[in-house]
Copies of this chain bind each other. A is one copy, B any other.
Amino acid sequence: MGNVTIRILARELQLSAATVSKALADSHEISQSTKKRVLEMAAALNYTPNPYASSLRRKKSQTIAVVLPEVADSFFSQAIDGIEAIAQDKGYHVLVCLTHERALKEQAILHEMLGGRADGILISSCSETTDPSSILELQEKGVPVVFFDRVCEELDTAKVVTDDRSSAYKAADHLIRSGCKEIAFLTISENLSISHERIEGYKHALEERGIKFKKTDIIPCTHHAEDNIQLLKKILSREDHPDGIIASVEKLAVQVYQACHELGLKIPEDVKVIGFSNLVTASLLNPSLTTITQPAFEMGRAAATLLFKALSNKSVEPSQVVIPSELQVRDSTG
């Protein structure tokens, strides 16, 4: 590889490696003139530091890991943009680790993080049950962990969430006001904190409006689009199908549209639809989709900001930040 190392720079400059290292780090104990010489030589020889040597020595990787279910989802990709904006600003790298909604994968990733690959972790947990042990170990080791969106309630970490419960309340309330009598609630996993919160908000709205909650209106969906569409078609083909649907996950909203299209059902006449979604195309859909829009980018930024605060303070305060979502009424509930 014949790489240019600090030693080589030092030899060329007739200096010690230590001095060169300090000069490159802009240490105050090095004279301006030496710094200048070092920097020039570094540029001339096209020196690039070996990050791993530095990490090993300093026990810091200048890297944060983002652990999340997938990236092909508007919420997550926007959140990554927010995270990355902060990280880049702080001179940190972002390792993206996808769990594909598999608890085992998530555990493996987190366990691996114990090795010190990342200085801090941002996580939006997968829909299967989260095993808190690795998280706890990470915290014990002083690796700050910040949950965002899909948090783990049992854990005492910093968290960034949106107002899931009241958003779901608003969604359900809006549907009821629009005339819906039976509202189905689509979810991917009931043991996910946000699902739970959202279901509570939904229930609350029903209660308040004197509609009795039917357990069968909570529709557990899968991660397979086709299966969901089949299921939705079955439900929507019934004589007494729901006249309102809340899709608590972006993808599910799309699938409802697909199912309706295939069945020839009219939105909002036959069924009104509202989705938790960050789709840029929401307003362009046929019909335009009423959404609960989450502040994805801001949540990413906020989570990263909390993480870096923990990283500098060394004190990991388990604060909780709530950034409100917004109900955007469009034609699908009109």
Interface residues of A, Cβ cutoff 8 Å to B: 1, 3, 46, 48-53, 55-56, 59, 61, 63, 70-74, 77-78, 80-81, 84, 88, 93-98, 111-112, 114-117, 137, 141-142, 251, 254, 257-258, 261, 279-281, 283-288
Contact = CB atoms under 8 A, between A and B. Distances in A.
Given A98-B88, A254-B281, A56 B48 contact: no
Give the copy number.
2
Given A71-B80, A96-B80, A112 B48 contact: yes
28 contacts: A1-B59, A1-B142, A3-B116, A46-B137, A51-B117, A71-B80, A71-B81, A71-B84, A72-B74, A72-B78, A73-B77, A77-B77, A80-B96, A84-B96, A94-B95, A94-B96, A94-B97, A96-B96, A254-B284, A257-B281, A257-B284, A258-B284, A261-B284, A279-B281, A281-B281, A281-B285, A285-B285, A286-B287
B77 A71 contact: yes
A46 B98 contact: no
Given A71-B71, A77-B72, A116 B52 contact: yes
A32 B109 CA distance: 27
Contact of A81 (B70, B283, B284): B70
A142 B74 CA distance: 36
4 closest Cβ contacts across the A-B interface? A286-B286, A48-B115, A48-B114, A52-B55
A258 B281 CA distance: 9
Interface-centre pick from A49, A97, A111, A286 (highest chain B CB count, 10 A): A286
Contact of A284 (B55, B93, B285): B285
B98 A93 contact: no
Contacts of A111: 48
A55 B115 CA distance: 12
A95 B95 contact: yes
Contacts of A72: 74, 77-78, 80-81
